[in-house]
Structure 1
């Protein structure tokens, strides 16, 4: 009886210890979430402040809610046109990246051919090249071929620099798809294109969502490529329109924060819509191999 009572006390002690660790872990995660979300909260409350209120009470709620900040930012920065330009460039580059990257990943993960290792080596080198070191040669190249100051001046470099990581993510994910599925489809008379379009690509939905959101964030927020390759006001993207609120003489922080709040809303909405698939895509390729 005494031994049984001792065992129960030990078991109960372990249970309380587990609950304590679980509660501590939740506390840490809650604190981390608060630290992560606070900059976003600060951005949105700052978007409704005057310059004076912004400097005097940077962390407090606005004394007077300046709803006009976002309206004026939208009008002065011509953000409607800039958002349309960013959307066109970003969506086009994402689609092109997915089309080329998923196809390349499928070929490299499923087929054996003589140049397979050199091709994968080229994609690996592409991941190691500092993007901004290519601005000058790309500028000269696009000037010579007449692509400068066009949508293509952004879409093509975005796609090229995003392809390496896209290909390796696709290869890792497709390694977890059983080859028996393709073999069964081939026995039924399906060709490689039909197998890819009807079977493989639908199974790749999680990694497609992951690649899409990562590429979207990079393309949507890019400033350096747009600054160097775009000159026309009608083609300026959202990051370029944000720079209009700051010059060498001063910055209107109320308008700047309002414009930044408008610019960040699409990324938040898209992430919230796709977050579950993104998480699945990030871990799916690690299950096998």
Structure 2
């Protein structure tokens, strides 16, 4: 009897040791993945403070001399203050419009049944399949006929249209996980559909709103092709276009380019760090419910 208990105890100890070993190995893999993921940011921010000579002679190490004036010169020469303002106006406007339309559409598609509901869902699905860059020529013609070229609207409207399909599906999946009993109780208390949506459903959708917002923000803030085609006026150019000023057909000023890129990427890092918890909640709920 004692021998059996001893053998079982040893077996249990061996299994725990195996599990601990696997857990430790998994942590090492995650650590390696984190290093690989974060290294480009390290390289970008260290390169932003190097001279061109130091950039080529010592591409992976720390700067021999920290050139903070790279950031100042990049800000001035690239007119990045104006470009950042343009990017902020376009991005924030498009994000607000995307969030507003997607949560309204997601609420209707997740809560109501109507004859053309499946058709609407299919249309949004088709929107996910359209290659965005194949629409540049027809969109350019459309914007020209509407008089929207060289305006903020030339970027805000296409950004919103192409982001809506994925935003609608995320919000629809998330809202499907909210119990309908909440709405029934509110209706008994005399609330209408708009009151239920504004006072009860929308506050519960903070995680998915944060998820949609950051995904849209990253796409809009970093877009180059639409801004290049639809914007020609220097005063309306966005940040990605301002980065191209440091490179011409004869060469690239890498110290200024890296400085400008470091400035441009900071807002996305800050916003992601602020909203990361809600983003994770929204992505998990949106992928497992519906």
**Normalising by structure 2, what TM-score?**
0.98
Q: Distance in 2 between matches of 1:131 and 1:19?
A: 47
- Where do 1:77-226 residues align within 5 Å? 77-226=78-227
User: Secondary structure at 1:160's aligned position in 2?
Assistant: helix
Deviation sequence 1:165-212 (CA, Å, 0-9, x none): 011111110110111111111111110000000011111110000000
Q: CA deviation at 1:288?
A: 3.6
Deviation sequence 1:9-35 (CA, Å, 0-9, x none): 111111111111111111100000000
User: Secondary structure at 1:285's aligned position in 2?
Assistant: helix
User: Runs of 4 or more off by more than 2 Å in structure 1?
Assistant: 285-289
Q: CA deviation at 1:236?
A: 0.4
User: Secondary structure at 2:252's aligned position in 1?
Assistant: coil
Deviation sequence 1:259-289 (CA, Å, 0-9, x none): 0000000000000000000000001134445
User: Secondary structure at 1:113's aligned position in 2?
Assistant: coil
Number of residue-to-residue matches in the alignment: 289
- Where do 1:37-116 residues align within 5 Å? 37-116=38-117
User: Secondary structure at 2:178's aligned position in 1?
Assistant: coil
**Normalising by structure 1, what TM-score?**
0.99
Q: Distance in 2 between matches of 1:259 and 1:286?
A: 36
Q: Distance in 1 between matches of 2:181 and 2:212?
A: 26
Q: CA deviation at 1:164?
A: 0.5
Higher mean displacement: 249-258 or 111-120: 111-120
Which residue is equivalent to 2:228? 227
Q: Distance in 2 between matches of 1:151 and 1:168?
A: 27
Deviation sequence 1:244-271 (CA, Å, 0-9, x none): 0000011000000000000000000000
Please, what is the CA RMSD of the aligned residues? 0.8
- Where do 1:238-253 residues align within 5 Å? 238-253=239-254
Q: CA deviation at 1:40?
A: 0.4
Q: Distance in 2 between matches of 1:284 and 1:104?
A: 18
User: Secondary structure at 1:62's aligned position in 2?
Assistant: coil
Q: CA deviation at 1:69?
A: 0.5
User: Secondary structure at 2:267's aligned position in 1?
Assistant: helix
